[in-house]
A and B are shown apart, each in its own frame.
Chain A
């Protein structure tokens, strides 16, 4: 069963603009993670945010977590062509075990030059 659901499924913006992707999940979690996948490659970890954290930054990335709404958002500021990729959220539900990550179907982000 799908725990995390990303929205939108696809997003196309101009280089330099900000990109926001959202993730919703169903059950209580320990952590939520965001990963990036370039076409034909493996996933690369971006940020892990714990259930007791509300916001986290890493370079041009900003992740928020609202456990009351069971949702998270990933903001990429000042987008670049190299940010073109699919972005996935992954959650580990408290009742499933910390290492059983459940991935959403991803948001496909296209940055237009």
Chain B
């Protein structure tokens, strides 16, 4: 199906474990993004990518790693999960500068 998907939709993990959240889009959009949404903070940008193999940090990138070997995929890895990373994570994509962003359904991550 066309669109942007995220997996898993829900994840519970323990402190210190590595977790990877997946994002896949079928539009061949150049730009992809990862945000986290927390009460009281709105959405905050974690990382973004302008194209395959081009990534850059956002506002809250500490503790996260991204890669983009293929245009359609943009995985986000929490190298050693902490309780403060409990959040809802959204992936988004857009075809280019000054365009709207298309959001995935989100992944609710709980770190215990």
Contacts and interface: CB of A to CB of B under 8 A. Distances in A.
A105 B41 CA distance: 6
Chain A CB within 10 A, most for which of B101, B102, B106: B101
B42 A30 contact: no
B75 interface: no
A45 B101 contact: yes
A41 B50 CA distance: 25
Interface residues of B, number: 26
Interface residues of A, number: 26
Contacts of B45: 100-102
Interface string B62-81: 00000000000000000000
A43 B103 contact: yes
A45 B48 contact: no
Given A2-B42, A101-B45, 19 more contacts: A30-B98, A41-B105, A43-B101, A44-B103, A45-B100, A48-B98, A48-B99, A48-B100, A98-B98, A99-B33, A99-B48, A99-B50, A99-B94, A99-B97, A100-B58, A101-B101, A102-B59, A103-B35, A103-B43
Interface of A: 1-2, 30-31, 33, 35, 40-45, 48, 50, 88, 90, 92, 98-106
